[in-house]
């Protein structure tokens, strides 16, 4: 595997719901750390949902390896943020047998 071009600084965030005082929950996102990463585009999807156009783009994010259980290791249901851009993490796996890199598949956009 070629060495990735780690030129994008992504913030790793985890959802931390808190009671909203009315019997529900308020979603908030807590910063877990930052990763230098390579972000490569994947596929794009557009749909009409409830009469409104929505689109999503998948990306492949390569970043330095982190062991299972480490707070720095991304996992599904977390997200990366880059400024106003948000990338929902769909899955994470090792990119190589030397444990040098991870690959995270992410979705950017409003489709569920």
Question: Alpha-carbon distance 110 to 112, whole Å?
Answer: 7
Asked, for residue 49, whether it belongs to a domain, the answer is yes
pLDDT > 90? residue 1:
no
Question: Alpha-carbon distance 50 to 54, whole Å?
Answer: 10
CATH number of the domain where residue 60 is located: 2.40.10.270
Asked, for residue 3, whether it belongs to a domain, the answer is no
Asked, for residue 1, whether it belongs to a domain, the answer is no
Give the tens place of pLDDT for each residue, 35-75. 999 999 999 888 887 888 888 899 999 999 999 999 999 99
Domain that holds residue 97: 8-109
Asked, for residue 97, whether it belongs to a domain, the answer is yes
pLDDT > 70? residue 5:
yes
Cα 31–chain centre separation = 12
Instruction: Please give the tally of structural domains in the chain.
Output: 1
Asked, for residue 88, whether it belongs to a domain, the answer is yes
pLDDT on residue 112: 55
């Amino acid at each position: 595997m070629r060495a990735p071009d780690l030129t994008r600084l992504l913030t790793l965030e985890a959802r931390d719901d808190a009671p909203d005082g009315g019997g529900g929950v308020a979603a908030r996102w807590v910063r877990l750390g930052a990763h230098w990463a390579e972000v490569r585009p994947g596929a794009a999807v557009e749909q009409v949902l409830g009469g409104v156009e929505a689109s999503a783009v998948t990306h492949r994010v390569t970043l330095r390896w982190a062991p299972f259980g480490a707070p720095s290791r991304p996992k599904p249901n977390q997200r990366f943020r880059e400024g106003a851009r948000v990338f929902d993490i769909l899955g994470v796996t090792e990119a190589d047998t030397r444990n040098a890199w991870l690959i995270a598949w992410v979705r950017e956009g409003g489709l569920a």
